[in-house]
Amino acid sequence: MKSFKIIFFGDIMGKIGRSAVAQILPEWQKKYQPDLLAANVENLAHGKGVTKKTLQELKDIGIEMMTSGNHVWRKEDANVLAKLPEFNLITPHNDPRTPAGQGYKTIIINDLKIFFINLLGQEGMVLFDMPDAPENNVTSPFKDIDQILDLEEAKNADIIVVDNHTELTSEARAMGWHLDGRVNAVLGTHTHVPTADAQILPKGTGYITDIGMVGAYHSVLGIDKDTIVDRFLNQSKITFAAPETGQAEINAIFLEIDLTTKKTVQIQLLRQMVEIL
């Protein structure tokens, strides 16, 4: 192998998102021939959290690595599911709910060690399942990533990919510069809005501020649009409802990493619409 190719799906929102990934994968596998499929799954089960059933659904269509974010604990206990080896699920390293060692993981593909790291941005990050927790319970992702990269597991990796689950674009961009040349890719998730800055930084790290989501197109971040508009008009209480059919947007990143130089040589935002019946 001269290079290694990854398709990484942004936050998959509920049933419509899972259906969209299943629909697009045969086409994208033929076109891009990825060596690994990965996804952020924090909103996999009806728009918030994960369940064993929904993780298995992704596993069955070929998703081999699953990262997450601050919503991942909203359904079944993500810490229990992360212990199941068949899913390769990790949770953000600097979230106080994540046990030691669950914020990163090595998977072996074609005899290569692919090391994934999951982080939360610190600024403005809300821990929804910990309403009394102060914001500073999220530790500094900058200090945490430095400690992780000092681990033997990281030093022995052939490829390192970071899911940077971040609220502020400034913090996301700063993390990209902090890690340029130290990891192969820094991929932003969380806001559900794809950014137009997919790029290779000067020292060879692939970067994007946010991949975007896989979910209902006529929505507000994957949630029923009328519900959210009413929330802003009338300060009404939100009952989250993710549409299950209709037009879906699929946002993902295609990465190609040169195995000789260990640098990213291609990063492309993949964006496509499909109809889910």
In the chain, where the domains are located: 3-216+247-276
> What integer pLDDT is reported at residue 55 of this predicted model?
97
Give the residue carrying structure tokens 């649009």.
225
**Active site (annotated) includes residue 71:** yes
Q: For residues 268 and 256, give the distance between their C-alpha atoms in angstroms, rounded to a whole number.
A: 9
Q: Residue 25's CB: how many other CB atoms inside 10 A?
A: 18
> What integer pLDDT is reported at residue 124 of this predicted model?
84
Q: Rounded mean pLDDT of the chain?
A: 94
> What integer pLDDT is reported at residue 133 of this predicted model?
55
Q: With a threshold of 0.75, does the pTM exceed it? A: yes
The SS3 call for residue 225 is: helix
Burial of 134 (C-beta count, 10 Å sphere; 0-12/13-18/19+):
exposed
> What integer pLDDT is reported at residue 127 of this predicted model?
79
Q: What is the CATH number of domain 3-216+247-276?
A: 3.60.21.10
190 is in an annotated binding site: yes
Q: For residues 102 and 252, give the distance between their C-alpha atoms in angstroms, rounded to a whole number.
A: 24
Distances (CA, A) of 271 to 150, 194, 217: 35, 9, 12
Q: What is the mean pLDDT of each run of 10 residues along the chain (277 residues)?
A: 96 97 98 98 92 97 97 92 95 94 97 98 79 68 98 98 97 98 98 97 98 96 90 82 92 98 97 97
**Phi-psi map region of 203: left, alpha, beta (phi>0 left; psi -120 to 50 alpha):** alpha
43 is in an annotated binding site: yes
Sign of CA dihedral 98, 124, 118, 43: positive
46 is in an annotated binding site: no
164 is in an annotated binding site: no
> What integer pLDDT is reported at residue 128 of this predicted model?
63
Tokens representing 102? 């669950």
**Which of these is catalytic: 71, 93, 178, 218?**
71
> What integer pLDDT is reported at residue 134 of this predicted model?
52
